[in-house]
Amino acid sequence: MSLFLPRAGSTTTGEPDQPTWGIPDALLGYVVSYCFAVIAGGVILSIGGWADDPKDAPLGWTMAASIPIWVAFVGVSWFVARTKGNGVVRDFHLAFAPVDIPLGIVAGVLAQFVLVNAISWPILQLSGKTAEDLAKPAQDLADKVHGASGALLFLFVVGVIVPIAEELFFRGLVYRAFEKRWDRWWALLLSSAFFGLTHFQLLQFLPLMAAGAVFGFLVLRTGRLAPAMFAHSAFNLSTAVVLLWTT
């Protein structure tokens, strides 16, 4: 299979019908996902007895309460593509080639240790913050890990579940929706900014936007969603391993 495929919207023999979903579906899909996650996550924490102190919840309950947002991302993407398009495989180019694994891993690791650090350094200098402040959200989660089972759960969630769900939504539905409305480069910029904003971490906005741009560029250049999933996985796991190793 060729490394670079025609981008979405090209016409070939047997091309599926043009999907009718667009930016409103992507934005509404995020709102629905977020609201569902808040409600479902709150119910899960209440069942575990951690509703009043969610930050103190053990890793298992914290992960369980986080699952609804990723389930919602997958569900919304599937529903929109199924009811207004040709399914997630065709609409979001959910395809795989063997080269996607090394391509994604290299891109994800470089994005984490080179690009993010380069962007974060001036931000930290101007804001008076430290690298510890930047890493605090991830560090707080890593501090909940205890034992081999906890480490495996942590790595599985951040390295498998999160990349699949977020890439299907952000580089699948969101990026393709912007691409249908504007030029693909504008789609890359806007979807990356949206990705950074939805993490609700001001200090990490630009680094996360840059990471989203890397994932989106892989989709733009290869025509497949798989490279972004592998890059996102490598991006998350590289930090997770370092945090676990140093905790």
pLDDT tens-digit readout, 196-227: 999 888 888 999 999 999 999 999 999 999 99
What's the pLDDT band for 1 if we cut at 50, 70, 90? very low
User: In this predicted structure, what is the pLDDT of residue 24?
Assistant: 95
Q: d(Cα 97, Cα 8) in Å, to the nearest integer?
A: 17
Q: Kindly tell me if the per-residue pLDDT of 10 is higher than 80.
A: no
CA-atom Rg of the chain in angstroms: 18
Q: Kindly tell me if the per-residue pLDDT of 134 is higher than 90.
A: no
Cα–Cα distances (Å) from 174 to 90, 91, 118, 165, 202, in that order, read 15, 12, 27, 12, 21
| Type of residue numbered 218 | L
Q: What are 117's two structure tokens?
A: 């650090």
Q: Kindly tell me if the per-residue pLDDT of 2 is higher than 70.
A: no
Q: What are 176's two structure tokens?
A: 């393709």
Cα 18 from chain centroid (whole Å): 25
User: In this predicted structure, what is the pLDDT of residue 16?
Assistant: 59
What's the pLDDT band for 15 if we cut at 50, 70, 90? low
Q: Kindly tell me if the per-residue pLDDT of 116 is higher than 60.
A: yes
Q: d(Cα 220, Cα 142) in Å, to the nearest integer?
A: 33
